Amino acid sequence: MKEVSEIKKYKAIDFFCGGGGMTCGLRQAGIDVIAGVDLDENAKETYEFNNPGSVFVHRDVKRLHSNYFEKNLGVQKNDNRLIMVGCSPCQYYSIINTDHTKAELSKDLLMNFARFIEYYMPGYILVENVPGIVTNKETILPKFLRKIEKLGYKHTEEIVDMSQYGVPQSRRRFSLIATRLEGVDISLPEKSKEIITVADVLGENNGFPKIKAGHKDKSEFQHTVAGLSEVSLKRMALTPHNGGNRLSWASRPNLQLECYVGKDDIFKDNYGRMWWNRPSPTITTKFFSISNGRFAHPDEDRAISIREGATLQSFPKDYVFKTNSIAGAARIIGNAVPCEYARRLGETIISNS
């Protein structure tokens, strides 16, 4: 185990930081995250409140001068212990239906991140994104990899499932670590021997009292949950506990949705319940809505709460989401890199150096 004083020499800049999932995890590993950069001003208060000392830089990376961190935060070039993180927005490469006209704006952000790599030449690079960044025919990834290889970086990459790294959630992501340092063994974190399930982190035994749809928690615990219409409450009442889905009420005309009539084989997870004995499904920005996936509580007739979604993303229970709406908090949570995986990435860099 390295001395704390040695660990603290590692520093990071977290590009596209959002509300701070990656920053939180790296800080847990003992890394000094100097700054987070993001265009979403709505994430600023959440980021800075939970990560004191890490500066939120509200800028469009495309328009941010390469020397910004050098001039304003004293970041030096060629720092072997500097980590640059680029988890760029992934809408363009996502399999989830999205507005590709809007998503087009995010397509080339990885190359904008590469501009800062070339200017500062950090010791390490971290990238996390959706698997589509590998499989999409129009992906920018090969160009990015050629760029960093030309700069002298070697890398390792893999499509990983976060459930194999201490996160109670099935979440497949592209993960990359790169370094320009000679004699350094770079590798992704080791997989866990045990899988953490929903039952391991949620439920009354884990500090989540039973609540009803529409419950508003005014405390910082934020065990707040979206309301449900009368008809959706009837649907939930007929959905079997622990993994039930919408097929249990598909034959009832008063409950079935027109868009699903005769289509029992599609979108079966919508209106479905999570299983206690499995990791949760991927936590998206819409996890507060039962109509957008298998986001219903295993037993209670409601969607999972803001705090439950955050916990499945491995945020600490005292991490506070500074927003005025359920949708705003869910957006920050769903877009985040799970903190536990980020922590393991940080510890891997430290231990292999």
Catalytic residues: 90
Half-sphere exposure of 291 (CA within 13 A, CB side): 11
201's CB contacts (< 8 A; 6+ apart) are 168, 311, 312
Residue-level length of the chain: 353
Closest CA to 314 of 36, 11, 20: 20
* CA proximity to 125, closest of 6, 18, 38, 15: 15
Distances (CA, A) of 230 to 99, 154, 259, 292: 31, 56, 19, 18
Residues 264 and 282: beta-carbon distance below 8 Å: no
What number of other Cβ atoms are within 10 A of residue 96's Cβ? 14
E-assigned strand segments in 39-153 = 55-58, 82-86, 124-129
For residue 39, what are the contacts with CB-CB under 8 A and spacing of at least 6?
A: 58, 59, 60, 61
- Taking the C-alpha atoms of residue 273 and residue 280, their distance in angstroms, rounded to an integer, is 10
Cα→Cα distances 7→189, 259, 346, Å: 17, 55, 10
CA gap 283, 330 in Å, rounded: 9
Cβ atoms 151, 118 nearer than 8 A: yes
What number of other Cβ atoms are within 10 A of residue 288's Cβ? 26
